[in-house]
Amino acid sequence: MATGHPNLHSFPNSDELATQLRSYVLRCQNSALSRHGTFRLAVSGGSLPTVLAKALLATSNGSPEDTPQFSKWHIFFADERAVPLNHEDSNYRLLNDELVSKIPTELGTPIIHAIDEKHIGDDDPQELADLYQEDLMREFAAKDSVKLPAFDLILLGCGPDGHTCSLFPGHALLREKDAWVAAETNSPKPPPKRITLTLPVVTHAISIAFVATGGGKKEILKQIFDLEEGSSLPSALVNQGAGDKVSWFTDHPAVDGVSFPRRGSL
């Protein structure tokens, strides 16, 4: 059961958001490296890779704490579309174009866990999901059997309908209890075929951060944070399941009029 409330951080502009997101991600990195020598994270699509690149490709202050050690990173996808890796809808391609291809050589190269392209044409993306789950198992359950993988960090976006990963409002996938990775055949947002981490995997992560910016997010954030009514929107279920392990990185227009139980300090 989750303890505490999510932390809200709201910034006046994208530069400040990126600066604070950098510190947060590098704190997660440093603590993961001291625990087990690698940094295992999952990232989403949407605007997240661009914001993340702005944060991580900024000039370091030179201290070890402020230095991304990309050669120790394992990057997974919180969700992925069943399209070729060079397709314009691919989250792999987005992350590569925005961030990975721009990392200076001296900072090292992360290991990127992409979907298996051999199965992108399958009618049913279940095999794609199963293979991705096997990849997670090799990484998280190689030595011990574990019920759920413990990502060091999961970075999420929040759609205008409250979806996160490829977990959409009211969908049966929200009730998945056992699978780590699930297949979606009829996503309400194109493309229809996708794979996604499941809710138990997301809430089991050590740290979870949402990045949501712009006035277009205001109405859905009011619903997500409406504690009196309670919300069953996927992003709200992450808040409820993971409590104070969750941090929201927003800008002022996105939270205009939203009442948060807890404003975080960084």
* Interacting residue ranges for ligand 6PG, rule: CB under 6 A: 44-48, 79, 157-159, 166, 189
CB of residue 146 vs ligand 6PG: minimum separation in angstroms? 27
Query: Which one, 77 or 140, has the nearer CB to ligand 6PG?
Result: 77
Q: Which amino acid is at 66?
A: D
| Three-state secondary structure readout of 191-219 | CCCEEEECHHHHHHCCCEEEEECCHHHHH
Does residue 261 have a cis peptide bond before it, meaning omega lies within 30 degrees of 0? no
Q: Which residues, in sequence order, are bridge partners of residue 8?
A: 248, 263
Least Å distance between CB 266 and ligand 6PG? 20
What is the rounded CA–CA span in Å between residue 198 and residue 27?
25
Nearest approach, Cβ of residue 168 and ligand 6PG (Å):
9
Judged by CB, which is closer to ligand 6PG: 32, or 212? 212
Q: Give min distance, CB of 95 to ligand 6PG, in A.
A: 11
In angstroms, give the least distance from the CB of 81 to ligand 6PG: 7
Neighbours of 220 (CB within 10 A): 23
d(CA 65, CA 74): 19
Residue with the CB atom nearest ligand 6PG in the bound state = 46
Query: Rounded to an integer, what distance in angstroms lies between the CA atom of residue 75 and that of residue 58?
Result: 19
**For ligand 6PG, the closer CB: 48 or 136:** 48
> DSSP letter string over 43-83?
E-STTHHHHHHHHHTSPP-SSGGG---GGGEEEEESEEESS
Comparison of 140 and 203: residue with beta carbon closer to ligand 6PG: 203
**Cβ distance to ligand 6PG smaller for residue 46 or 200:** 46
54 or 140: CB nearest ligand 6PG: 54
- Contact of 112 with 92, CB cutoff 8 Å: yes
As measured in angstroms, the least distance from the Cβ of 96 to ligand 6PG is: 15
List, in sequence order, the alpha helices (H) in 141-249.
Answer: 199-204, 218-224, 234-242
